Each structure stands twice: as C-alpha cells, then as structure tokens.
C-alpha cells in the first residue's frame, strides 16, 4: 500500500506496528514551508536504512524499515556506509 500526504493515517499505522517499510522519495529543491510527514508529539520510531537508488533526474528513493524505539547517536562522517547506485 502506498500512502501519499496522509500524516494522520501514517500515525495510526505506526501506533499499531503496521508498517513494514518506508520508501522516502527525496526531490532536489529547497522549500520554506510544507506539510510535515511525521507530526511532532506523535508516535516515534527509529528507522533502519536498507537501500537507496538515485533516478536520472536526481530523485533519491531511500528504503527504511522500522527499528523500534528512538535511538540517539552521533553523526560521524568518517564512519559512514558507502552505497552503490543501482
């Protein structure tokens, strides 16, 4: 099932652990306003990166699976995974 721009529906799915995978499409561009997919104060979940692809028009499709409670960590650019564009 694909859900587009339905943040309340996604929150219900998260609440009952009904999401197997997220596929986030990232479009190149900068916007100053917009609708938040993950509303503050709602169900939170860590996501585990599984795969990504880049289209010929520079759109990134990143795949994640839910990974339980939020985990805090730091970001280390010297210790990142290299991904191959497929």
CA–CA gap between residue 86 and residue 61 (Å, rounded): 11
Which of 2, 6, 15, 19 minimizes the C-alpha distance to 61? 2
pLDDT digit string (tens) for 11-52? 788 788 888 998 888 888 877 776 665 555 566 778 899 999
pLDDT digit string (tens) for 43-79? 677 889 999 999 999 999 999 998 887 777 766 667 6
């Amino acid at each position: 099932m694909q859900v587009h721009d339905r943040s309340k529906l996604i929150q219900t799915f998260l609440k009952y652990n009904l999401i197997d995978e997220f596929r986030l499409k990232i479009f190149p561009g900068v916007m100053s306003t917009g609708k938040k997919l993950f509303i503050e104060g709602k169900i939170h979940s860590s996501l585990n990166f599984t795969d990504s692809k880049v289209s010929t028009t520079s759109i990134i499709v990143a795949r994640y699976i839910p990974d339980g409670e939020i985990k805090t960590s730091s970001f280390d650019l010297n210790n990142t995974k290299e991904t191959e564009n497929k």
